[in-house]
Amino acid sequence: MAVYTRSEAREWAREKLVGAVNCTIPSFTNDLRRINEKAIRHDIRLAKEHGFIGSLGISEISITLPEYLDFLRISKDEAGDDFYIVHHASWNDLEQNIEAVRGAEDAGADLVLLSYPPNFYPETEQEIFDYTKAVADATNLGIILFPMVIWGFSGRIHPSDIPTRLIRRMIDEIPNVAVVKAEGGFPSIQSAIECHRLFGEEVVISIPIEGELIPLSQVIPIQLSATSDHEYFGPVIPRVMQLLRDGKYDDATEIYWQLHPARKIKAGLFNGMHGGSFLNRQAWKFQGWLQGYNGGPLRQPTQRIHDHQMAALRKGLIDAGLEPSMDPFREFFIGRNPA
């Protein structure tokens, strides 16, 4: 249950959400029949050790809603009070998303990342508003708004995916909107700048892409980077965010360039991983495995990851001086905590 009321969600977010939030993809037993509690706890524990302040519990994989809610319960039990679990509101339709967000709140989630279903085809801003408000009204948890090209809104609604005039209305009329994950019009940085300028005094503005986060934080205050596959870089993103908060911009810039080989490899291999029509969760899970996270098998249907992609992702980290796991690739498909 939320430790704050709907009307306190923004104040809570401003106070508590200072740092980086990574992503945790559920792990399964090796026969893929059940979730793997030991592996889930391992990943949450390691995220805390790496300095993250919370983790998004990914739902965009082959998992049932009851299994997913158990995954959130396990994650929150391992997380404790000082590490925040974000519910991934990415289910089939509005009815199921309302059921899921209520279950997530009961399971102990602290926050909600709002997504829009693939079969949701709004033709007006009002339809987007109505969907958003219906999910937000079903929970006391704070909502992370997420303007992003993957919803497919830009061709019909606005080039920024969710225009700021609509975000303005959501902030005014939905009291538990607490964060904007500013990726509208990706890969443009205009949405981040615009959201900071227009809404930064009212809600927290999150910059999730580390290649934008590090430079933008040197000219505008950014307290939160959520949610993203920051686990690819191990503990580096929480560390660099502390440097930025301390005003140590030269040190942060040095890390930016240190990460550049890995950043380029990741962008080149998976052109759709940020901003396309799909996200390769298998690749995200492998990225985490390179830094000590569980890895392990995912159910069908899932995207694949091949040897040349795994080798390139590992070489990117080597070139960045981050010492990734050198275990044989076959071990990724078993996981560090097989069950």
Whether 39 is in a domain gets the answer: yes
Q: Where are the beta strands (DSSP E) in the chain?
A: 19-24, 54-57, 84-89, 111-114, 142-145, 177-181, 204-206, 224-225
Whether 313 is in a domain gets the answer: no
Partner residues linked to 84 by β-bridges: 54
* C-alpha to C-alpha distance for 170 and 201, rounded to whole angstroms: 15
Whether 138 is in a domain gets the answer: yes
Q: Which domain holds residue 42?
A: 6-248
**CA-wise closest residue to 144 among 106, 193, 110, 173:** 110
pLDDT in tens, 70-89: 999 999 999 999 999 999 99
* C-alpha to C-alpha distance for 124 and 122, rounded to whole angstroms: 6
pTM of the complete model beyond 0.85: yes
Pair of tokens at residue 98:
């309302």
Pair of tokens at residue 83:
């590490």
Number of structural domains, the chain?
A: 1
Q: H-helix or E-strand containing 233?
A: none
| pLDDT of the residue at 328 | 98
CATH (domain of 72)? 3.20.20.70
Whether 12 is in a domain gets the answer: yes
Whether 172 is in a domain gets the answer: yes
| pLDDT of the residue at 269 | 86
- Residue that the structure tokens 């994950």 belong to: 181
* C-alpha to C-alpha distance for 217 and 257, rounded to whole angstroms: 15
Of residues 268 and 38, the one with the higher pLDDT is: 38
What secondary structure does DSSP assign to 38-75, as a single string?
A: HHHHHHHHHHHHTT-SEEEE--SSS--HHHHHHHHHHH
Whether 309 is in a domain gets the answer: no
What secondary structure does DSSP assign to 314-333, as a single string?
A: HHHHHHTT-----S-GGGGG
φ/ψ of residue 83, rounded to 5: -140, 125
| pLDDT of the residue at 277 | 54
| pLDDT of the residue at 275 | 43
Whether 181 is in a domain gets the answer: yes
pLDDT in tens, 104-118: 999 999 999 999 999
Q: Which amino acid is at 303?
A: Q
| pLDDT of the residue at 155 | 83
| pLDDT of the residue at 271 | 60
* In the chain, % of residues over pLDDT 90: 93
Whether 282 is in a domain gets the answer: no
* C-alpha to C-alpha distance for 85 and 76, rounded to whole angstroms: 6
